[in-house]
Amino acid sequence: MILIYILTILTVITFFVAVISKIIRISSAPVHLRWELYPVPHEGGGKAKYGGSRLEEPDWWEKKIHKDSLGELKVMIPEIVFLKGVWEHNKQLWIGSYPFHFSLYLFIVNIALFSIVTILKLLGNDVLFSGNIIGQIIYYAILIFAWTGSVLGIIGTIRLLFSRIVDPNLSKYSSASHYFNIIFIGSLYFTVFLWLISGRDFVADVSNFYYGFITFSTAVEIPTIGYWHIILSLLFIAYLPFTHMSHFFTKYFTYHKVRWEDEPNLPSSKLSKKLMEQLNYPVSWAAPHIGADGTKTWLAIATEIPKKEK
């Protein structure tokens, strides 16, 4: 069991180091080309309702910018919770993708609940098995989420694999890593399902593992399928930030720094200084119509009068 605890610590460190380093790398990248498609959800003043923007107003750059954070949440919550974009653009894919992702959400909620229970137990309040109403609510909530997540997750896994194999619009773009990732996550759902039907008290087993991890106790006993699930979960958590599945946090940059980024480029502003720095980067493109020689900057090429073709 001590080896499992050490593996858990290494996994958590790996996960956070990888995520933080990727966030720093993306945040320090050059300014991205904006989409500039309106309406932008955080556009204040009610203009987003009809597809407008502050650019309609004269001397808009001199006026105070009003951002509507609620407008962003109205777009983000349906996208995150219900995969609204997938539903709108590919309903057949959504049938498998939604239960597949929703099951992960339920498992994450269970991690949060077990963490709360463990903290309370360390403080001397074993709420889960104290017999009070709150403990019973948490116990059965965890159990319901585990059953629902495992069953829906298995269904979603099978459906996603079927879609990627049968649908030519998906299969031609599906690499070995896509299938591997689906099966990998599916194995987490399957091992929880086996744990639940093993006859053991799933909630008690997992709760004891959490408490044992914090206290480094060797007295914790879990079934073999429990070991398999925990090891697979730890390997997945360590593996996650290094894959395209890191969109669970990089999607923030896609929306806020590309799709919705509308900060005005005002003189002497931070954005203006960044852009001027980028305009002085040398261009090494090989395309002859660019006229790059490896020393000319973007600014020089953009302001150069094009040569007349012979």
Whether the pTM exceeds 0.85: the reply is: yes
pLDDT for 309 equals 64
pLDDT of residue 307: 67
Ranges 117-126, 186-195, 260-269, 289-298, most confident: 186-195
In order, the DSSP letters of 106-148 are HHHHHHHHHHHHHHHHHTT--GGGS-SHHHHHHHHHHHHHHHH
Query: How far is it, in rounded angstroms, from Cα 235 to Cα 242?
Result: 12
pLDDT, one tens digit per residue, over 34-73 is: 887 888 888 877 777 788 888 888 888 888 888 888 888 9
CA atoms of 103 and 98, how far apart (whole Å): 8
200 pLDDT higher than 90: yes
pLDDT of residue 294: 84
CATH class of segment(s) 68-250: mainly alpha
pLDDT digits (tens, 9 = 90+) for 97-144: 999 999 999 999 999 999 999 999 999 889 988 888 999 999 999 999
Task: Kindly state the average pLDDT of the residues 191-195.
Answer: 98
Among 270, 227, 287, 261, which residue's Cα sits nearest to residue 34?
Answer: 261
Residue 170: which residues within 8 A CB-CB, separation 6 or more? Answer: 93, 163, 164
CA distances from 121 to 80, 129, 212, 272 (A): 32, 10, 11, 53
First to last CA, the chain: 77
Under DSSP, the state recorded for 2 is H
Domain ranges across the chain? 68-250
